[in-house]
Amino acid sequence: DSGVTQTPKHLITATGQRVTLRCSPRSGDLSVYWYQQSLDQGLQFLIQYYNGEERAKGNILERFSAQQFPDLHSELNLSSLELGDSALYFCASSSRLAGGLPDTQYFGPGTRLTVL
């Protein structure tokens, strides 16, 4: 158990819909990362937050957005869903933003999204 929790574990929805994925980082971790794992794209970085502020963006679609709340949990919002958005979405957390050696990112169990 990494200490990172993600809900829900599974999500099945229809095209055009909007969903929200939730992540609670390990106690004390300030950085949250979102990754998407799909068969055709592999594991890709989407976005990073540090202590409530967006810090880095990867290959995140405009239909997707995220935020980190004062209690440090994070939500990833996916809207106007398409079949191709079906994937496993991982959240990871680490304790520091930068400086010195890179922190280990601890991954949650993921949310499996199926778009029908």
The residue among 3 and 16 lying less far from another protein, judged by its C-beta, is 3
The nearest distance, CB 63 to another protein, in angstroms, is 20
The residue among 24 and 94 lying less far from another protein, judged by its C-beta, is 94
Contact (Cβ atoms closer than 8 angstroms) between residue 80 and residue 16: yes
Which bin fits 31, alpha (ψ -120 to 50), beta or left (φ > 0)?
beta
The nearest distance, CB 108 to another protein, in angstroms, is 5
Alpha-carbon radius of gyration of the chain = 14
The residue among 56 and 116 lying less far from another protein, judged by its C-beta, is 56
Nearest to 26 by CA among 1, 53, 63: 1
Q: Which residues bind another protein (CB under 8 A)?
A: 2, 4, 31, 33, 35, 42-45, 48, 55-56, 58, 90, 92, 94, 97-110
